[in-house]
Each structure stands twice: as C-alpha cells, then as structure tokens.
Homo-oligomer: A and B are copies of this chain.
Amino acid sequence: MRELVRTGDTVEQLVRAISDLIISGDLQPGAKLDEGGLASRFQVSRTPVREALRQLCAMGLVERPPNRSAVVTNVSGEFLSSMFEAMAELEAICARLSAERMTAQEREELESLHRESFDIVKTGASEDYAAFNTEFHNRLYSGAHNAHIQETVLQTRARLAPFRRAQFRLEGRLQLSWDEHEGIVRAILNRDGAAASCAAYSHVSIVGDASRTFASSTATRN
C-alpha cells in the first residue's frame, strides 16, 4: 500500500537509494542484488526494482548478466586505472575552463570555501573534509560552464566512488590534498588555465594512486 498520489519517481528513488548503498560501501563490489530482496526491502514490486537496476547498469554501477542476478560492478585493475586517468583528464579540463570562465563571484566563493576548509584540515576530521572536498570539486565542474562536461565528470566520479572510499585515511593525505587545492585555486585566480589544468591533473592522479593503494589492500573477494 503506497500513496494515493502518483509522483512517478519511485524508480528514481530506488536508483538513489541503491546507488547510495553502493557508493557508501554498504554494498561492496561483487555483491549480488536480488530483485525480490530489494523489492521487499523497499516495499515495492519487482518491476520498479528491475527498472532501477537497468538504469544503474547504464550508469556503470551494476552489471546484469543475462538470466542471473545483478551484481555491484567490480572492475579490473586496468579499467580502474583507466577511470582514474579519465577522471584526471576531465578534472584538468574543468580546472582549465574554470580558470578561463569563472565569474568574479564564482572565484570568490571558491577561494573562501577553500580557506574555510583549512580549519578542518587542522582538526584532522577526514569525514568533514571529504564533504568540503566534494563541494570544492563540484565548484570546478560548474565553473567550467559546460553542462555536458559537468554531467560526464559527475558520472565518472559516481562510478569511481566505490573504489576510493578511504582516500583521506591514508597518513598525511589531508594536508597534502589541501596544499594541492591551494595550487589549483591560485592558478584559477590568476586565470592561468594551463597551470590550473596541470595542478588539477596531478591532484586527481595522486588521489587515484592513493585509492589504488588502498583498494589493492582490501581487494574484494570472489
């Protein structure tokens, strides 16, 4: 028994709910996704669950072998590397375009956000810093003033998320990350697209290295 009004976004809610489970690590790569189980868990029938899984599959978060249960995507090390490299390239583009195109207000907001986050670094609260970090990168994406690139990089990030959950737990990453952000911000404020691009590329590459280090130490069974 559900609501009386039909909003028509049941599937969207399921997509968000399931992808949250995946991104948060509650469902790890390789985990089986039973349609009936998910249906009863979310109090809906299998039909919307199937559609949600189909969409998650199109987003790359899930795989659906024919006639078998869907599983959370578990990519090869090689493909994971290609995703990190793609992420670095995309972020480099965003940083370059941001340096060239951000409005005065966007520049100010980026800088003040970055300054604020310094307090978090001092406390060492990696959870809080992760939120700042996400927002910082979001600003780079939107500052590029290119809706399709923004969409693409956000999708890549979501797909990468299950594999870099613990990036800030590595010793010293917090301060280093902030320093790298500092380099990006400075380049953007100077309208130096090439420098912003370089700084963003190496920043994201380093995150990739750190995550791969972590990922390989907790390699998913199966």
Contact = CB atoms under 8 A, between A and B. Distances in A.
A7 B156 CA distance: 30
B51 A6 contact: no
A161 B93 CA distance: 23
Contacts of A83: 148
Interface bracket on A: 20 to 34
Main secondary structure of the interface of A (DSSP, over half): helix
Contact of A82 (B67, B89, B147): B147
Given A8-B67, A58-B58, A152-B156, 9 more contacts: A7-B66, A9-B66, A47-B47, A51-B51, A79-B147, A83-B148, A86-B149, A89-B93, A89-B149
Contacts of A89: 93, 149
Interface of A: 6-9, 11, 47, 50-51, 54-55, 57-59, 66-67, 78-79, 82-83, 85-86, 89, 93, 146-149, 152, 156
A148 B156 contact: yes
A79 B150 CA distance: 11
Contacts of A149: 82, 85-86, 89
